[in-house]
C-alpha cells in the first residue's frame, strides 16, 4: 500500500515516478494527483502549471486544485 505522500502505481505503460508538486515544470502537459483525507485522486485530463496555479492543457481553463504530486502526462 502506498504511503500518504506517494500515489498508487499507475496503469501499465504510464510512468510510475511521481514528483512533489513544488518541482513541477511549466510549459509541459502533466498528470496531477490530489490527496484528500486518505484518498488519492488522479486528474483524468492533462494540466499545465502557470504562475499562481494550474490550467487544463487543452482549453487553458483555470482549475482550482491543490495537487500534491505530478508526473509527465502519458495517456
The total of structural domains in the chain comes to: 1
pLDDT score for 28: 95
CB–CB of 40/8 below 8 Å? yes
pTM confidence score:
0.72
Question: Residue 36 domain-assigned?
Answer: yes
The residue-averaged pLDDT of 52-68 equals 94
Q: Is residue 37 part of a domain?
A: yes
Residue 36 pLDDT class (50, 70, 90 cuts): confident
In a domain, 50, yes or no: no
Q: Mean pLDDT, to the nearest integer, of 36-48?
A: 90
Residue-wise pLDDT tens digits, 6-32: 444 444 444 568 899 999 999 899 999
pLDDT at 9: 43
Residue 1 has pLDDT above 70, yes or no: no
The answer to whether 46 and 29 are in contact (CB under 8 A) is: yes
Determine, yes or no, domain membership for 53.
Answer: no
Written as one string, the DSSP assignment of 27-71 is SS-EEEEEEETTEEEE-SS-EEEETTEEEETTT--EE----SEEE
- Domain assignment present for 75: yes
Assess if residue 72 is contained within a domain: yes
Of 25, 26, 65, nearest to 45 by C-alpha is: 65
Residue span of the structural domain in which 38 resides: 16-44+65-75
Amino acid at each position: 500500500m502506498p504511503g500518504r505522500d506517494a500515489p498508487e502505481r499507475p496503469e501499465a505503460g504510464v510512468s510510475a515516478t511521481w514528483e512533489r508538486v513544488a518541482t513541477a515544470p511549466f510549459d509541459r502537459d502533466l498528470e496531477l494527483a490530489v490527496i484528500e483525507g486518505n484518498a488519492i485522486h488522479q486528474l483524468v485530463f492533462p494540466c499545465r502549471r502557470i504562475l499562481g496555479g494550474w490550467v487544463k492543457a487543452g482549453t487553458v481553463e483555470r482549475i482550482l486544485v491543490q495537487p500534491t504530486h505530478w508526473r509527465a502526462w502519458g495517456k
